Amino acid sequence: MSFQAPKGVSEYVPPRSALFEEAREAFNESARRACYAPVETAVFEDTSLFVRGVGESSDVVRKEMYSFETRGGDQVTLRPEFTAGVLRAVLEHNLHRGALPVKVFTSGAAFRYEQPQAGRYRQFYQFDLEAIGTEDPAVDAETIAVAYDAYRSLGLTQFTLLLNSLGDSNCRPVYRAALQDFLRKLDLDEETRQRIEINPLRVLDDKRPEVREQTADAPYIVDYLCEACKTHYDTVRALLTSMNIPYQDAPRLVRGLDYYTRTTYEFDHALLGAQSGIGGGGRYDGLSEDIGGPPLPGIGFAVGLDRIVLAIESERGAAAAPAATGCQVFGVALGEDAHTDVLTFITALRRAGVAADMAFGSRGLKGAMKAADRSGARFAVIIGAEERKSGTVSIKDLENGEQQDVAATSATDWLLSKLRRAGEEAE
Ligand code: AMP
């Protein structure tokens, strides 16, 4: 019997896993540069956290959660998103009583019971960043800049930032009522009619042409924003312009989770087809209170690392494939006796900061040299009886085939300087 991963699970194995790691690291790095701190939070939470946080009317809560009862009788859910759990952790650990805003980031698997397709999975990976405790529009712009710079550092250019404001508890109810009035007059199916009552903004997000056509003249939230929300939105836009971050006003943009207020944004990639959203975020000024905390404004985003890998592949083409291991030096032992010397030698190299591997098991020279070639290493270090006797190692440059003997005591330094020079030439 052989097992397969459950349907819709996204997995990464070499060599593609290096691309995944590159994507995640680009976001980690961008977040660290803006002085966000890493957090690791629960993969499963009390189901009611998501029901109250993400919102009962969202598709995520209504149809997509992996919820179950534990052996102890608790109702828990695998996180379908990060924000509710991260905010719960910030409150639980009292971070909001210290310096504000609390700026944190994390990444990992999220779970939604969706219909799997290209770019849409049931277990997928997000990088998530949150700034909690300020209404300052500058922090809205900062979160966008952190994401934008991370995409750009990965070489991505074929994406668009879509921007909208969803108003606040002042102006949104007025807009909501106006939108409901408009939608109720349309010729829509039963499920959509229900949605008008529970979450009318989501109807604007319906991708079906027959719905699109009818909602073309729907009222837009921008025309209903109160003075405070309007000023906030204008400030965010001016800040983006001053940071050289291009955006498009997207008056129809709403998001799948119920907690968003004011600034809302999405990054859309041009080459990904139907699942083109590579990230999105926004403000959630009421969320803390929704989950039983004090009034505490916040903003953040989550990006889909799976889709970013797809975006990198589509933009870089064949050049996307990374080296399998990043291995720089590969050790080859000629004969059993030399095994210890090779392992000792490459351990010293590793301690000096070089990525080194060796041929394990007893293969002949030919097999071992083939493994050296496959490893992607620049140099092979060969040690046999002769080298052991003369206190040397034999070093082969796998790029040009040149081979030479170097005293064992100075071989590490020799390799270090060669690798440094090769690195400088590559730049
Ligand atoms: P959301 O949490 O729904 O705002 O989604 C944020 C980002 O996560 C999206 O822009 C996608 O890139 C990614 N994402 C959401 N759902 C999925 C999924 N089922 N499979 C893969 N990526 C997803």
Mean pLDDT, contiguous 10-residue spans, the chain (427 residues): 94 93 97 98 97 85 94 98 97 97 98 96 98 98 98 98 95 93 93 90 88 93 96 98 98 80 96 95 94 96 98 88 79 93 96 96 89 94 95 96 96 95 84
Task: Report CA(310)–ligand 1 centroid distance (Å).
Answer: 13
Query: Are 26 and 137 contained in the same domain?
Result: yes
Dihedral Cα 24, 27, 31, 33, nearest 10 deg: 110
At 229 the pLDDT is: 97
- 389 with 336, same domain: the answer is yes
User: Same domain for 347 and 253?
Assistant: no
Atom from ligand 1 closest to the CA of residue 82: 2
- pLDDT attached to residue 324: 59
Q: Are 251 and 228 in contact (CB under 8 A)?
A: no
User: Does 50 fall in a domain?
Assistant: yes
Residues 28 and 153 in one domain: yes
Which residue range is the domain that position 370 belongs to? 329-426
Q: Is residue 215 part of a domain?
A: no
Contact 166, 252 (CB under 8 A): no
- Cβ atoms 96, 133 nearer than 8 A: yes
> Which domain CATH number covers 114?
3.30.930.10
What's the whole-model pTM score? 0.93
Of the residues 11, 124, 301, which should be mutated to test ligand 1's pocket, given the most ligand atoms within 8 Å of the CB? 124
| 53 and 126 in a common domain | yes
Q: ∠ at Cα 407 (406, 413), nearest 5°?
A: 80
Kindly state whether residues 369 and 272 are assigned to the same domain. Answer: no
- Check which CATH number belongs to the domain holding 375 and give it: 3.40.50.800
pLDDT of residue 425: 84
Yes or no: say if 329 and 379 are a contact pair by the CB < 8 Å rule: yes
Rounded to an integer, what is the distance from CA 188 to the centroid of its chain?
36
Q: Do residues 38 and 124 share a domain?
A: yes
**Angstrom distance (rounded) from CA 254 to CA 247:** 16
Please tell me the distance between residue 259's alpha carbon and the centre of ligand 1 in angstroms. 16
Ligand 1 midpoint to CA 424 (Å)? 39
Mutational test site, ligand 1, from 63, 159, 259, 306, max ligand atoms within 8 Å of CB: 306
Atom of ligand 1 nearest to the CA of 303: 7
Whole-angstrom CA distances from 132 to 136, 143, 227, 315, 347 are 11, 11, 23, 34, 44
What pLDDT, on the 0 to 100 scale, is given for residue 56? 81
Pocket test for ligand 1, best of 59, 126, 154, 312 (most atoms within 8 A of CB): 126
What's the pLDDT score for residue 323? 60
Claim to verify: residue 252 and residue 338 sit in the same structural domain: no
Give the Cα separation of 251 and 275 in Å (integer): 20
Residues 236 and 363 in one domain: no
Domain boundary among 257, 290, 319: 319
At residue 364, the pLDDT reads: 87
Burial class (CB in 10 A: 0-12, 13-18, 19+), 325: middle
Same domain, 264 and 364: no
Q: Which of 319, 345, 380 is the last residue of a domain?
A: 319
307 and 395 together in one domain: no
Q: Are 355 and 325 in contact (CB under 8 A)?
A: yes
State how many domains the chain has.
2
In a domain, 166, yes or no: yes
Residue 281 lies in a domain: yes
Is there a single domain that holds both residue 139 and residue 53? yes
Nearest CA to ligand 1 atom 2: 81
Exposure string of 231-260, with b = 16+ CB inside 10 Å and e = fewer, is ebbebbbebbeeeebebeebeebbbbbbbb
Which one of 270, 291, 319 terminates a domain?
319
